[in-house]
Amino acid sequence: MSSAVNPAPMHPTPLKPARLPESLYAVGAYFLPRLMFLQSRHGAQIHWGDVAIALRDFPEHLRDLSSAEFWEEWMQRWSSLGEDYRQQAVASGTPAGRRRALRSAAACFHWAEFMYFADARHKTGLRRAVKDCFQRSLDHEAVSVSIGEFSYEGVPVPYYLALPQGRAAGAPPPPCVILSNGLDSVTELEVWAFAEQFLERGMAVFMFDGPGQGVNVGCNPIPAQFEKVAEHIVAKLEREPSIDATRLGFFGVSFGGYLALRVARHLGERFACVVNLSGGPQLAPYASMPRRLKEDFRFAFMGGDAHEMQTVFDSLALAPNGACGTDLLSVHGARDDIFPYAAVEQMDRQLGERHTLRSYPSEAHVCLNYINQYSIDIADWVAQRLLPRP
């Protein structure tokens, strides 16, 4: 007996495999590589077939990334695929099958919401679905992770503390890297994928949804002085016996990279090293950004009109005369249109020997085409500063 998955009605035109429309690829070529991200072992993950299935026959009249209608259609399609995976997890007869389907469901729900801003409550619901599916997908025999929450100025901050596998009994506690989200990333996908690089090298990782991040985005604004959140986390880790809080690193991606710069400037003496991935000391003018980025920043900061948002941007700019109290690595694309590369170059000249700048001349924000290469380099660079010499 044979069976068909999602059987289609008889039709005179032969069915064809799902394909990503060429025109949709053309308009979305910048961010489509992000959907694949890194090949995470435990984090939320999709595959190329998911992209083809979710986006096949995407209506031509909606293929304008600057329109809210595009992202509404995008959200509906990825949400539908996420529900398919969630139902597959329910139907699966094995723990391994359930975990794999839930990982895919979590990723689909994230891609449904990452540039969707029309309904804040619905976006938050999708982010909570990401977290729920991911946490139910975890194999605690394969990854040593504790899940918790603390409060920062009344904001609940969920977190994961993961420890490297295979440590010998009686071994000293490992160093720890704190990882920070950007505006539209989630801890369970992008940040977790980076975290695995540190875990593989014998370092613990602490990942969190701070105010205005992860499940908190759109519920409360990101605080300008985010280094105070980091200071709270450091104090928490100093009371954590499973890690060595005298050997700490900090990693931030995108806007989290900007936050990393603030950490290096204000808390540098508490960290052995800091990594800034595609952040910078100042933002491009708000008016120059495409619509989706304007909405992204407005949503995360819970801001108002263009004038108010530019005032926020101006308040975030880091003075050029700031010092750096730790080793700092910046990875940046020369064609970045969010954090201008010229300002990063100027920062590099000012900070001197404690700052290392690795640039990609042909790349835009987060240098997505080189993510596998530079993630290896970043984790190795951090390992050289946190782990004992062999």
Q: Is the pLDDT of residue 135 over 50?
A: yes
CA distance 114 to 259: 20
Structural domains in the chain, sorted by start: 22-132 (no CATH), 143-386 (3.40.50.1820)
pLDDT digit string, tens, across residues 263-316: 999 999 999 999 999 999 999 999 999 988 999 999 999 999 999 999 999 999
141 token code pair: 């025999």
Percent of the chain with pLDDT over 70: 96
Determine whether 380 is exposed, middle or buried from the number of CB atoms within 10 Å of its CB (0-12, 13-18, 19+): exposed
Amino acid at the residue 314: D
pLDDT digit string, tens, across residues 23-66: 998 888 888 889 988 889 999 999 999 999 999 999 999 999 98
Identify the pLDDT of residue 10: 44
Mean pLDDT of 231-257: 98
CB under 8 Å to 63, separation ≥6 — which residues? 21, 23, 24, 27, 70
Identify the pLDDT of residue 388: 85
SS3 277: strand
pLDDT digit string, tens, across residues 112-131: 999 999 999 999 999 999 99
Identify the pLDDT of residue 47: 94
Identify the pLDDT of residue 27: 86
Identify the pLDDT of residue 205: 98
Identify the pLDDT of residue 13: 59
Order of strands across the sheet that contains 144-152: 144-152, 155-163, 204-208, 176-180, 248-253, 273-277, 327-333, 355-360
Res. 374 pLDDT band, cuts 50 70 90? very high
Res. 161 pLDDT band, cuts 50 70 90? very high
Identify the pLDDT of residue 120: 94
Mean pLDDT of 79-103: 98
